[in-house]
Amino acid sequence: MKVFISATLRSFFGRSTTEEVQGNTVNEALKELRDRFPEVGKGLWDEKGELRSFIRIFAGEADWTDKNMHDTPVPSGSSLLLLPLIAGGAPEGGIISEVRRKQVSLDNAEVDQFSRHLLLREIGVKGQKKIKAARVAVIGAGALGGPVLQYLAAAGVGTLKIVDFDTVAVPNLQSQVIHGFRDIRRPKAASARDKVRAINRRTEVIAENIKVDASNVLSVIDGFDLVIDCTDNYQARYILNDACVICGIPLVYGAVYQYEGWVSIFNYQGGPCLRCLFPAPPEPGLVPTCAEGGTISPLSGIIGSIQATEALKLIIGIGEHLSGKLLRVDTLGLRSEVLEVRHRDDCQVCGSAPTIREPKNYDYEELCGLREDPAEEPVATIAPEDLARRIENGEPLTIVDVREPHERSILRFSGAIVIPIGQLARRQRELNPEHDTVFICKEGKRSILAVKTLREAGYAGPAYSLRGGLDAMKDIILSNEGGWI
């Protein structure tokens, strides 16, 4: 049986994308994988031996995550997919009412502009008027939000709200094609607003330069027919999901990581929400946004375009859609599949007895395992200047790099040894407890996790986290280096 491994888990499988196993049940396959890759234990199971809540297992297109199914033989010819969170049927009339549709009209210029839509039997004049009547909120104006906004504006959506708190920076230009060099240091919401107006001057554009949180999310989405999640962090994703359930607004979800992308529709006509699929975010040390995983440029365009297509289908009321389904696209393996997503009666927010009745902020530091416990000994840190001074003075130090391979290829740190966080416990003998050990990563977050992991493994030597990570040290040049890059 073939097992496909999603990108966010491949570091536990020696970067393997697929593995052949002899077993014919989920438990047999998982046992064989765990025997073959000991590091998998940390990634898939918690300390109680339970499958982590952010992991889903699919056999073919069916969800086999329920442990009661794990000793049942997998249907012949089916493959398994291990899918962690990074995030059908035909609509009946769409989400725009007939009353709203009849309140708008198309002038001669619009008939000419949208003639390609009018020629499609499923859209026609009625469908185009629904598009014009639609009010859509797009949260995030970056890699995913760019293509979503551009295509919805080009399609003739009447009102678009753009919400983003960030400003345009040079690294954004690699994948955020809605922005250009002239937009650097401008608010993304304002930059995207100008591009949308250039595409369709009839679209009403509302740009808000704010960060969505529990205190403002209900007002941000109030009065809109559809919300499109183009964010890049777990806190925003769960707040948006919960708010959309509370307000009864469908949510078009999209996510990208390295070469893979996901699209789904949540909270549509009693369908599942994000928490039905992934009840909780990834555990500490397994969060892609902490790992700075990177993304190939065109992937965001592919996924964003699919999000825009799903939005238009919901607005018009045509075709099949992704409510109750998750589309996974693997551009590196040239593979895609539509996976089943079930509504959970015990869901915290959309189940029969919800425990979440209002949006709540989630401490991202705590989600990543980075928030200091007052009862726990604080993690010692070292300033970039102090580390540079000690290196220049030739002081005995052990520097451990816990970054991903692709990060190290971009920015190297001479003299550091490489130990992934998941291997620290069994490789602690490589460290000299008589010397200070300094852990380094990109932003100084994973290095904190590394120190905590090493302590839990019983290491007694002095260990430090590089404060601010290599991002804070890039401007420091050592005498034996011409520069960092």
Residues taking part in catalysis: 290, 441
Strand order in the sheet with 436-440: 381-382, 463-466, 436-440, 397-401, 417-418
Q: How far apart are CA 227 and CA 26, in angstroms?
A: 36
Residues 192 and 177: their CA atoms lie apart, in Å, by 10
Provide the terminal-to-terminal Cα distance of the chain, rounded to the nearest Å. 44
Strand partners, 82: 5, 57
DSSP letter string over 145-184?
HHHHHHHHHHHT-SEEEEE---B--GGGGGT-TT--GGGT
Going by the DSSP 8-state scheme, the letter that residue 114 receives in this structure is: T
Q: What is the 3-state secondary structure (H, E, C) of 186-245?
A: CEHHHHHHHHHHHHCCCCEEEEECCCCCCCCHHHHHCCCCEEEECCCCHHHHHHHHHHHH
With a CB cutoff of 8 Å and minimum separation 6, the contacts of 18 are 2, 3, 4, 5, 333
3-state secondary structure 6-25: CHHHHHHHCCCCEEECCCCC
Q: Copy the structure tokens of residue 337.
A: 């599949």
Q: Which one-letter DSSP state was computed for residue 334? A: T
> For 36-186, where are the E strands, in sequence order?
55-59, 62-63, 80-84, 135-139, 159-163
Distance (Å, rounded) from C-alpha 242 to C-alpha 223? 16
Angle between helices 297-316 and 124-133 (to 10 degrees): 110
Return all residues near 292 (Cβ < 8 A) that are at least 6 apart: 403, 404, 407, 442, 443
Q: How far apart are CA 415 and CA 394, in angstroms?
A: 12
CA-nearest of 12, 17, 4, 2 to 258 is: 17
Q: Which residues does 315 contact at the CB level (< 8 Å), separation at least 6?
A: 94, 95, 96, 130, 131, 134, 136, 157, 225, 226
Q: What CA–CA distance (Å, rounded) separates 349 from 94?
A: 24
CA distance 242 to 110: 37
217, with CB counted inside 10 A (0-12, 13-18, 19+), is: buried
Structure tokens of 79?
Answer: 């493959």
